[in-house]
Amino acid sequence: MKPKKEKIIDTAIALFADNGFHNTSISQIANKAGVSKGLMYNYFESKEDLLKYIFDLGAAKLLENFDPNRDGVLTKEEFIFYIEDIFYQMQKDRNYWMLFFNIVTQPAITQIVADRMMEMVGPMMKELTDYFRNKGCEDPEAEARYFVAVMDGVGMHYLLDQENYPIRSVIKKIIKEFV
């Protein structure tokens, strides 16, 4: 990819994450990325378009490690790996994940990426529900929804205080409870 395009994207992720989408201006992004304001519009049709692009980047990465062999079935090992991997990714790409939670908690912004999000969460929820059903859970759908809520909650808190958050200990609790 064009290096300047990449610079724009990286800078946008960082600023969106720290300041929020609507509180980040194109000027800020251009300044910090060291390019002209106009250049952004050579690569993206609008600020919203940039957000969509960024969201897709991360969504792809997220799915990559969920059911990696793509057989539609989540094994115990795959599940554990996925849990570990998500928190690893959060630590590595903190900005992207802050932005992600940003988006999810703001209906007005969620709408911008609504269709993409559906494509992503739909299949995931299904596989999770199947997993919990096979495991013998009484109400597998409720368990799946509880699980993703826990993941989101922990993820959010982890991101907000990576240094002090007892993430190892919490991951162990999650695996013990859900896997």
Contacting residues toward its own copies, per CB under 8 A = 17-20, 22-23, 98, 101-102, 104-109, 139, 141-143, 145-146, 148-158, 160, 165-166, 169-170, 173, 177
Q: Which is nearer to DNA, 26 or 179 (CB)?
A: 26
Residues 170 and 109 sit within 8 Å (Cβ to Cβ): no
Based on CB atoms, which residue is closest to its own copies, 69 or 107? Answer: 107
Q: Is 146 exposed, middle or buried (0-12, 13-18, 19+ CB in 10 A)?
A: middle
Beta-strand ranges (E) seen in the chain are none
83-115 b/e (C-beta count within 10 Å ≥ 16 → b): bebbbebbeebbbbbbbbbbbeeeeebeebbee
Which of these segments, 33-41, 64-72, 103-111, 171-179, binds DNA (CB under 7 A)?
33-41
26 binding partner (options DNA, its own copies, none; Cβ < 5 to 8 Å by kind): DNA
Partner touching 173 among its own copies, DNA, none, CB below 5 to 8 Å by kind = its own copies
Tokens 């409720």 locate to 142
Residue 162 binds which entry of its own copies, DNA, none, with Cβ cut-offs from 5 to 8 Å by kind? none
Nearest to 119 by CA among 52, 178, 71: 52
Q: Minimum Å distance from CB 169 to its own copies? A: 4
Query: Between 73 and 160, whose beta carbon lies closer to its own copies?
Result: 160
- Among DNA, its own copies, none, what does residue 170 contact (CB within 5–8 Å per kind)? its own copies
- 80-84 LR contacts (CB < 8 Å, sep 24+): 80/175, 80/179, 83/151, 83/171, 83/174, 83/175, 83/178, 83/179, 84/171
Output the smallest distance, CB 69 to its own copies, in A.
28
Stretch that binds DNA, among 1-9, 53-61, 103-111, 147-155 (CB under 7 A): 1-9
Backbone angles phi, psi at 66, to 5 degrees: -100, 120
Instruction: Please report, as ranges, the residues that interact with DNA according to CB under 7 A.
Output: 2-5, 23-28, 35-43, 45-48
